[in-house]
Amino acid sequence: MKHLLVAAALLFSTASLFAQSDYQGAFGLRAGSGFGLSGKYFLNRDLALEGHFTSRRRGYELTALGLKHRDIGWHREFNWFYGGGAHVGFSEYTDTESGLDRTQTTVGIDGMIGAEYTFQPIPLNLALDFKPEINFTGASGVCLLCGALSIRYVFQ
């Protein structure tokens, strides 16, 4: 009986250790090449979906990404991630010929690489990412220096 209690205590402490260092999702603010909201939801231990709703180019942009997470190795709460996805944006611009304000739709693809740290005593996650993007329509072009800092509340 004594061995059973020790084994149960060891199993419980190990399970709670893993539960503390992992999280199911997070939601918060994103500031960088655009300012807005950031949300992340893990499908399994290392695969997450991340979404952004940001203001950009006199309008707003919606981004959806699939991200693979990897432990850095020396600290469980510190991870790096990489992946990609797509975005669609809606913005206003002034037509130079007519002088009228017009609306344009921007569609493109995104890559992402970054690192994040999840604090244990408080449900807080900080992520810093580099997110180059290529626009195919609307505000066409390439943004190689896009990225941001996200501060998110973590939920289990």
Domains annotated on the chain, with CATH:
24-155 (2.40.160.20)
Listing DSSP states for 51-119 in one string gives: EEEEEETTEEEEEEEEEEEEE-SS-TTEEEEEEEEEEEEEEEEE-TTT--EEEEEEEEEEEEEEEEEEE
Those residues with Cβ within 8 angstroms of residue 148's Cβ, 6 or more apart along the chain or in another chain: 30, 31, 32, 33, 34, 38, 128, 129, 131
User: Taking the model in full, what pTM does it have?
Assistant: 0.80
| pLDDT tens-digit series, residues 15-70 | 333 333 378 999 999 999 889 999 999 999 899 999 999 997 789 999 999 999 99
* Whole-number pLDDT of residue 2: 45
- Phi and psi torsions of 10, nearest 5°: -65, -45
Across 124-144, average pLDDT: 92
24 vs 101, residue with greater confidence: 24
Query: For position 14, what pLDDT does the model report?
Result: 34
Instruction: Look at residue 54 in the predicted model and tell me its pLDDT.
Output: 96
Mean pLDDT of the chain: 84
Could you report the per-residue pLDDT of 4-20, keeping only the tens digit for each?
333 334 333 333 333 33
Report, as an integer, the average pLDDT of 103-132: 94
